[in-house]
Amino acid sequence: SMYSGFEESLQETYSVIALGHSPAEVLFVIVVIAITPGICEELLFRGVLLHSFQRKMGVPASIALSSMIFAAFHLNPVTFLPLSILGALFGYIVLRSGSVVPAILAHIINNTIGIISLYLIDKSGILDSGPGAGTETSILAVASILSLLIFLMLFTAFVASTRTRSL
């Protein structure tokens, strides 16, 4: 189907752009895919859109709408729901802290974890065919769980540090 061809093309593009084969390339990828989007996307989606929507429609609707626009911006129907959820978390962080800076940092950390995970998976050779192939699913699952745990620990610390501030 047209959708599966689009998805394959998108995945191939992501893997070429996001995969550094040396530490220097990984650093470059972090600047291009973690730092720059972390700053620019948060300033646009949470700094401008979220606050603009909030003035017109309140907190829950403004978080939901800005998050869905953020997800749609990435042009990947497969990641729409997870990116909407991530966008909502970033929106909550902005409104809870009163600043876009913590969301910028969270966005950069999230993208950097993904880039470093891809690099380590590539270096391990587990995605290659041959003996040991097929373990990639378990490695990806472990990497995802570790990323989620890191994010939850940081998010919990953030919420605890801003406990007296309400939305």
102-135: pLDDT as tens digits? 999 999 988 988 888 778 777 776 656 555 555 5
Segment 44-50 mean pLDDT: 97
Per-residue pLDDT for 137 more than 70? no
Whole-angstrom distance, CA of residue 154 vs CA of residue 69: 25
Tens digits of residue pLDDT in 62-99: 999 999 999 999 988 888 998 999 999 999 999 998 99
Judge whether 89 and 65 are in contact, CB under 8 Å: no
* Residue that has been written with the tokens 């949470």 in this structure: 46
pLDDT-derived band at 38, boundaries 50, 70, 90: very high
pLDDT at 100 over 60: yes
Q: How many other β-carbons are positioned within 10 Å of the β-carbon of residue 113? A: 18
Alpha helices in the chain (DSSP H): 2-18, 23-29, 36-41, 51-57, 59-73, 80-97, 101-124, 136-161
Tokens coding 44: 């646009």
Q: Report the C-alpha dihedral over residues 85, 147, 34, 107, rounded to 10 degrees.
A: 40
